[in-house]
Amino acid sequence: MLKTMTSEIDRIIPVYKPVGFSTFDLIRIFKKKTGYKGKIGHGGTLDPFACGVVLLLLGKATKKFEEIKLWDKVYIAGLRLGIDSETGDIAGEVRKFEPQNIFIPDRESIEKAIKNFIGEIDQKVPLYSAAKYKGRPLYKLAKNGIKVEKSKMVKIYNIELINYRYPILTIRVCCSGGVYIRQLAHDIAEELGTTCLLFYLERERVGNFTIKECYLIEDFEKITIQ
């Protein structure tokens, strides 16, 4: 049986977001398929190109957003070395390419580089992000040519090198809430003396909720709302 969470907060429903859907698409589809008309929100968004665990917050659970968004998370990230884009991921136009015969980091260099990002770090906030400056999202400012430099302290508990065959690098990241995986990928590539494009991102876990406990979109009609 799939797991939800109820207590003094009404309900938290773990959902698997497929690639190509926004977090707000999930909310819209959920309301349509279940007929739910109450207060609803989320515990943290995922970009449309990403997939994985998204928490839908129902009723009083929406008031716990600031707490829930900081829950620890686990991600699988796919990096394509030698390519970059304005946004740091596949949503942006490629702006740099290094021919494969110029620089190829070895596995030992990568293992050493990722260790430098384990612990509490001061992470730059990506220009293309939903973080706000004077009430305006940074990505909207960036689109208008306004670049705002911001950073924040975050925790990286572990980075595991899953697979590497140049130019593709795959890592698993266990971290606190609030970590920008796009920025982490960029910083790791920079440490290696190259650049990268985040082409794949899957959120495996949020707090105690894992992928195996998530409802798929096609399961929404089976959910009973009390």
Catalytic-role residue among 10, 47, 84, 187: 47
pLDDT computed for residue 102 by the predictor: 65
Structurally, what CATH architecture does the domain formed by 73-206 represent?
A: 2-Layer Sandwich (3.30)
The secondary structure of 33-91 as a DSSP string is HH---S-EEESS---TT-EEEEEEEEGGGGGGHHHHTTS-EEEEEEEEETEEESSSBTT
pLDDT computed for residue 9 by the predictor: 45
pLDDT score of 157 more than 80: yes
Buried b (16+ CB within 10 A) or exposed e, 135-149: eeebeebbeeeeeee
CB-based contacts of 116, cutoff 8 Å, min separation 6: 191
For the 11-70+208-222 domain, the top CATH level (class) is: alpha beta
| Cα distance from N-terminal residue to C-terminal residue, the chain | 17
- What whole-number percentage of the chain has pLDDT above 90? 69
Residues of the chain with CATH 3.30.2350.10: 11-70+208-222, 73-206
Amino acid 80 reads: R
* 47 included as an active-site residue: yes
pLDDT score of 141 more than 70: no
Q: Six-digit token pair at 28?
A: 């819209």
The least confident of 26-30, 114-118, 138-142 is 138-142
Q: pLDDT tens-digit profile of 176-211?
A: 999 999 999 999 999 999 999 999 999 999 999 999
Angle between helical axes of 181-191 and 107-115 (0-180°, round to 10): 120
